[in-house]
Amino acid sequence: MTETFTTSPTRDSTTSRIAFSWLLKLRWGAVICQLLIILIAGLVFAIDIPLPILLAVIFFQICSNFYFHHLKNKQAAIRPLIFGLIMAWDIVQLTVLIYFSGGPMNPFTFIYLVHVALGAILMGQRWAWGLNLLAITCYALLFLLPPAPDFNQGLVAASAVPPCFADSGMGLHLQGMWAAFTLTAMFIVFFVSRIGKAIEGHQQTLSSLEKERQRSEKMAALATLAAGAAHEFSTPLSTIAIAAGEMTHHLDEAGSDPELREDAALIGKEVKKCRDILRQLAADAGEHLGESFVIVTPADFLDKVVREFKNETGREISFELDPDTGPILIPLQSWLRAVKGLLKNALDACPGGNIHGRLFSDREYLAFIVADEGPGMNQEETARAAEPFFTTKEPGKGLGLGLFLARTLAERFGGDLLIESTPGRGTEVTFRVKLARIAP
């Protein structure tokens, strides 16, 4: 009896190594049990068995165990194809052992179920059903093949007709065992595969919930950071604003150098900008901050986006609009910040290049697409682009929160943020939400 193990895509490497280690122990246990059975059958029950053939099969199993130990020490992965072939070969080996030790009259034919169950648990459905069919076929071959050569004593008596086909109660009993085995094996594969699929789906759900929990914790941390920053900076910013205002007033009265008056006015302007940045950061981190939902048409929304983007950056941009898109119910300011953030990222990526915008809808989603012709990102940067505080910009050019906040907003409306980028060919970002969540 042998068992085999393979790494599944849903298993982590640690779990796979632990399971593989225990598998090798089981295989060695199987070899020891087989040797004990042969020893007891020959010495205790004086059953005539072809010892060289059985020992050759067991020797092959021992060699395969040493090979698997070698793979384990190298931490090499076993591909599903190789693993499936090994399991199939184990079934064939078991068939050889049973054939030369009694055929279908051997009481250990039930061990086929071990291979069937392992295939259903560890392999995909196709491999599981394939191994199940192989086990059923090999069991059936035990009925069709003639008795093993020189095996006319012990469990099998010399006869022109094998006992399993003899017109007797024993023949019917053995055939019934094969039929029962076939039904049991099919039930095992069917239900174990279904249970495994359900468990895998449950694990994926738990993984998604864990990711959502981590994002919520990051949002809470960001909100705390923003609130703390706003609190800590409010007093010195107010002091600077008051001092800058008094300085401007005295300079105006004294008729001082215009450049000094411009510098004082600039200080006041920059202080106001700092306050706006802190307020916007707090608003983003705090989701919508109780912002009310309003009904707008996509055309009106895009007009507002284009107008505010031009006022803030001095850059004109046009959006391609799907005319079939109807009105939407949204928190306007949150969506404006998200879409403008995507546009500003594209502008930073290619200050002198083209930026393409498009809004369209299908039966399920409303999507905003922003594409640039900048340097693009590699695969690792693309995968991490929406993580909080990750940025490819130069220091001081951004906090790395724009894509993270846009993705968080999209997910709260049943959508997601898709990023496609190719080095040297630009980046395309799709902000999409479910129409059912924004239907007025």
How does pLDDT run across 156-185, given as a tens digit for each residue? Answer: 433 444 555 555 567 777 888 888 889 999
Given 133, 150, 166, the domain boundary residue is: 166
Q: Between 230 and 121, whose confidence is greater?
A: 121
The answer as to whether 206 is a domain residue is: no
261/241 same-domain check: yes
259/161 same-domain check: no
Checking if the pLDDT of 188 tops 60, the result is: yes
359/423 same-domain check: yes
Query: How many domains does the chain divide into?
Result: 3
Residue 166: the pLDDT is 54
The answer as to whether 190 is a domain residue is: no
408/316 same-domain check: yes
The answer as to whether 8 is a domain residue is: no
Count CB-CB contacts under 10 A for residue 133: 15
Query: Containing domain of residue 30, as a range?
Result: 13-166
324/399 same-domain check: yes
Given pLDDT bands bounded at 50, 70 and 90, which one contains residue 281?
low
161/276 same-domain check: no
The answer as to whether 61 is a domain residue is: yes
**Phi-psi category of residue 321: left, alpha or beta, with phi > 0 → left and psi -120 to 50 → alpha:** beta
Cα 415 from Cα 438, distance rounded (Å) = 11
Residue 431: the pLDDT is 93
279/305 same-domain check: no
224/367 same-domain check: no
71/100 same-domain check: yes
Tens digit of each residue's pLDDT (9 = 90 or more) over 234-252: 678 778 878 877 887 777 7
335/430 same-domain check: yes
Rounded to the nearest 5 degrees, what angle is found at the Cα of 214, between the Cα atoms of 208 and 216? Answer: 105
18/162 same-domain check: yes
The answer as to whether 299 is a domain residue is: yes
DSSP 393-432: SPTTS--S-HHHHHHHHHHHTT-EEEEEEETTTEEEEEEE
**How many residues appear in the chain?**
440
Q: Between 107 and 15, whose confidence is greater?
A: 107
Residue 151: the pLDDT is 43
The answer as to whether 381 is a domain residue is: yes
User: What is the residue type of 191?
Assistant: F
The answer as to whether 389 is a domain residue is: yes
Tens digit of each residue's pLDDT (9 = 90 or more) over 130-163: 989 999 999 988 888 877 665 444 434 334 445 5
Given 102, 134, 166, the domain boundary residue is: 166
Checking if the pLDDT of 336 tops 70, the result is: yes
The average confidence (pLDDT) of the chain is: 77
What average pLDDT score do residues 74-100 get? 78
Rounded to the nearest 5 degrees, what angle is found at the Cα of 18, between the Cα atoms of 115 and 23? Answer: 30
